[in-house]
Amino acid sequence: MKNSTKYVSLTWVIMCSLFTPIFCHAGTLEQVLNDLKASGKRDISAYKKIENDKAVGLQDIKKVLTLRNQQLVEINRNNRELEEKILSVQNALHTKQQQVEKNKQAIDDIIALTVAQQKNFITNGEQFSGWNLSQVHQPIVGSEFTIGDLRQFWLEMAEQFVISGQVVKTTSEVILPSGEVVNSEIIHTGPFSQYSIDYGWLKFEPSRQSWFQIQPQPEIELSMSSWVVDPSFGYAFDSFSQRDGWFAKYKPAGIIGVLITLLAIVGFSIGVARLFVLTKEKRAVDNQVTQLDTLNDNNMLGRVVAELQTSKTNQQMEDIVDASISRELPWLNKGIGTLAVLAAIAPLMGLLGTVGGIIETFTAITTQGVTNSDLLSGGIAEALLTTKLGLLVAIPLLILHCVIRSKAQVLAEVIEYQVSSLVVDMRYRKGDKC
C-alpha cells in the first residue's frame, strides 16, 4: 500500500514537472486548447490550399498533355505525308534513273552530234570576217559542257544563219594547183559558195585554213541574174569537176561492153530502118486502098491486086492470091526475129561480163589476200556495169521489136482483108456475067 502511494505521488510529481513549463507559457489549459485549434485550422487551410494548387496544377498538366497529344497526332500525320512524298519522289527518281539508263546511248549520240555540229559551225565560220563574237570557238568536249557553252553555241549558230544570207567580198590568199600562193578578191555566198574572178571556184581546206582553187574547174555558166550555191561547202563543186565522162564511166566494162555496144548499134539500126520502111509502106497501102482503080506497084496491096486481075478462073484466082501473099508477107516480118534475138542476147552478155568481173575480183582478193571492203565493192560495181549496159540495150530493143511487129501485123491484116474483099467481088461479078 505504501508502495502504491509512493508511485502515485511520484507520478504526480513527474506530471507536474512536465506540464509546469506549458502552464507557465500558455497560462491556462484553455489557451493551450485554443492554440491547438488555431494551429489545426491553419494546417487544414494550408492543406486545402495545397490540394487546390495540386488540382489546378493537375488541370494545367492535363491541358498541356492534351495539347501535346494533338501536336503528336499532327506530327505523325505530317510524318506520314512526308514519308509518302519521299516514297513518291524516290519512285519518280528511280523511274527517271531508268529512263536515263535506257536513253543513255541516245543522249550520248545527241551530245556527239552537238559536238560535231559545233565543230562544223566553227570551221565554216572561221572563213568569214563577220565572225566577231567576243567568246568564240569554245569547243565542246565530250559531255563536259555547261548551259553557258550551249548558249554560246546557239549564238554562234545564230550568227552563222545571219552570215549564210549575206554576200561578202574579202581579200584572202588562194593556193593554186601549182602551189603558188596569190592574193585575190573572193566573193562569199554565205558559207556555201566562194568564187574568185581571177581563179574561179574555190574550196576551203580547214586543216590548212586556206583557200584552194578547184581543179579542174566545174563547167558552170554564170550570169548577172543567177548564181550557184553549193550547200556542201565546195565538195559538190569538187566532185562535179572530177566527174567522169560517159566513156570513162563505162570503160571498165571491157570487151563485153564493146560487144554490147556493137550489138546495140546493129539492133537499133535494123529497128529504125524497119520502122521507117513499114511506116512508109503503111502510108502507101492506105493511099492504095482509096485508089483501087489506079494500081501502083510501089506497095504490097497494089502488086497483089495487079496479079489478081490477071486470073481467069476461080481456082487460078485463089492460087494467085496465095502465091502473092506468101511472097509479100516474109518481107513484112523481115528483121523482127533478128531484133528479138538481139534483145535477148544483150542482157545475157551483160550477165556474162558481170560473172566474169566478179570472178576476177574474188580471184585477185584471194591471190593478194586483200580484205578491204571498199576494194571488193568497187570491183563488184565495175563488174555490174556490163549488166547495166545489157539492160540499157535490151529494154529499148524489146520496145522497138514490139512496135515493128505490131506494124507488120496491121499491114498483113489490111492486105488480107482488102484482097479477100476483091476476090469475093470478082467472083460474084464473073458469076453475074455467066
Rounded to whole angstroms, how far apart are CA atoms 382 and 388? 10
User: What contacts 187, CB < 8 A, 6 or more positions away?
Assistant: 167, 168, 169, 194, 195, 196, 197
Spatial contact of 159 and 125, defined as CB atoms under 8 Å apart = yes
Give the pTM.
Answer: 0.45
Spatial contact of 277 and 299, defined as CB atoms under 8 Å apart = no
Lowest-pLDDT range of 57-71, 227-241, 305-319: 227-241
Quick: pLDDT tens for 375-403: 566 567 677 888 888 899 999 999 999 99
Q: For residue 112, how many other CB atoms are within 10 A of its CB?
A: 12
Strongest mean pLDDT among 186-195, 344-353, 380-389: 344-353
Spatial contact of 222 and 228, defined as CB atoms under 8 Å apart = yes
Q: For residue 74, how many other CB atoms are within 10 A of its CB?
A: 10
- The mean pLDDT of 403-407, rounded to a whole number, is 89
Average confidence score pLDDT of the chain: 74
- The mean pLDDT of 360-379, rounded to a whole number, is 65
pLDDT on residue 412: 81
Banded model confidence at residue 240, pLDDT cuts 50, 70, 90: low
Quickly tell me which residue has 515493128 as its cell: 404
Given a cut of 70, whether residue 217 has pLDDT beyond it is no
Nearest partner of 149 among 126, 100, 110, 115, judged by Cα: 115
Compute and round to an integer the Cα radius of gyration of the chain: 61
Quick: pLDDT tens for 148-168: 777 777 777 777 677 666 777
pLDDT on residue 224: 58
Write the CA distances from 17 to 11, 121, 336, integer angstroms.
10, 126, 175
